Amino acid sequence: MQFESHGPSRRSAHVPVSPHDEIVDLIKESEVRTGRPGRRFVIHGAERLAYRVLAHPGGLEIARIDGRGRPFGCVYVPARSFEQHPLAHAQRAGCLFTQPLSS
């Protein structure tokens, strides 16, 4: 199965993002391996909130993804402020997941 960084949510398995993982490194790994910008992350909870995250010099572009796979509510988060974003809170709590990349 091919990883699709911006497509609608699939019922495929997600892998946890460790509290020690660097989000930017995961994004860059996905971009190199898939040729597509950004990476999709999901906060596992009652709503399973999905986000598309792109790395930029000095920060991250973070957009929620709706039920049809379309980004909305895009914000730029400076690197120094990322720890205050819900994605960082979910990562520290062990609730942040991403789809595995194809080999």
Give every CB contact of residue 101 below 8 A, 6+ residues apart in sequence. Answer: 3, 29, 30, 33, 34
Q: Tell me which residue range forms the domain holding 46.
A: 15-98
Q: Is residue 5 part of a domain?
A: no
> Residue 88: phi, psi to the nearest 5?
-70, -40
Long-range contacts for 90-93 (Cβ within 8 Å, ≥24 apart)? 90/43, 90/44, 90/45, 91/17, 91/18, 91/19, 91/21, 91/23, 92/19
Q: Is residue 62 part of a domain?
A: yes
Q: What's the confidence (pLDDT) of residue 3?
A: 37
Q: What's the confidence (pLDDT) of residue 27?
A: 96
Q: Is residue 3 part of a domain?
A: no
Q: What's the confidence (pLDDT) of residue 12?
A: 59
Q: What's the confidence (pLDDT) of residue 10?
A: 47
Domain count, the chain: 1
pTM value is: 0.82
Q: What's the confidence (pLDDT) of residue 87?
A: 96
Q: Is residue 103 part of a domain?
A: no
Mean pLDDT by 10 residues, the chain (103 residues): 41 84 94 94 90 95 94 94 95 94 77
